[in-house]
Structure 1
């Protein structure tokens, strides 16, 4: 059924109903499309993870995580450490099995100015590095100015919760130049 191409979400739901797929009535979600359970339950049933410490960006241990695979950069829900005000995931140290969090929406640890991309796909004419363009790093946020230097993306201003594994899409006005996977 993928890619869905020119189909609308309504048309896809109608096809799912026609083919008697149980997900056609699934509520809107920011989780994986057409997954009939939440992401945590899905991952827990399929992978083995190890618990480990949760530390603040300042180095204080404040809890225990259930496995790094269950968390994503910028995540607030499901960390389960309590405290005054929300905590957000700012990094994951896979070598030490440590989840790093910061308290509050605007903690500096949530913001970064640059990242690298892999699996880059250029769909426009060949480009000379470095070059300026707009970059979009999540679905519901606007693209923002950046400089591309090979596989390095450097924003003009720091951006919140740059998430490894997500797509970065490069634009010149309304034209898609290409994209890659955030490392």
Structure 2
């Protein structure tokens, strides 16, 4: 690997480790502000929640294994915390981890969903599982898409979905 490519990869990994995989924009954060209150699952360091909180958004962030020294208070919890909430909150999933969490969250949540990451067939494919996208296609209408800046090799977007009537 050329030195410049190695340097780019190292910088990318440091930025991801410090902030988040997906890169927020003002447009995306303002759009999310209008969708509140929000529940974020898989929040990791809580960087998106931090940026949203700074804009006055009512947001609660959860992760199955919260880390020390997050950007925002991230509570311990998985998709089962959705049983405590109703349809009024918008569920935010930013690069949900590979596995069933995102899919199971859709089965427990009756409201709007914002998915931040790649679509099947794009880039890394390191997100949720295909059942998640199958449920989105079958039970939700796609409301909007906001393009996000992406790390090399990725194609991130913010996608807002609303349950079908």
TM-score range, shorter chain: under 0.3
Which one has the bigger helix percentage?
2
> Larger Cα Rg: Structure 1 or Structure 2?
1
Q: TM-score, normalised by structure 2?
A: 0.28
Which one has the bigger strand percentage?
1
Q: TM-score, normalised by structure 1?
A: 0.26
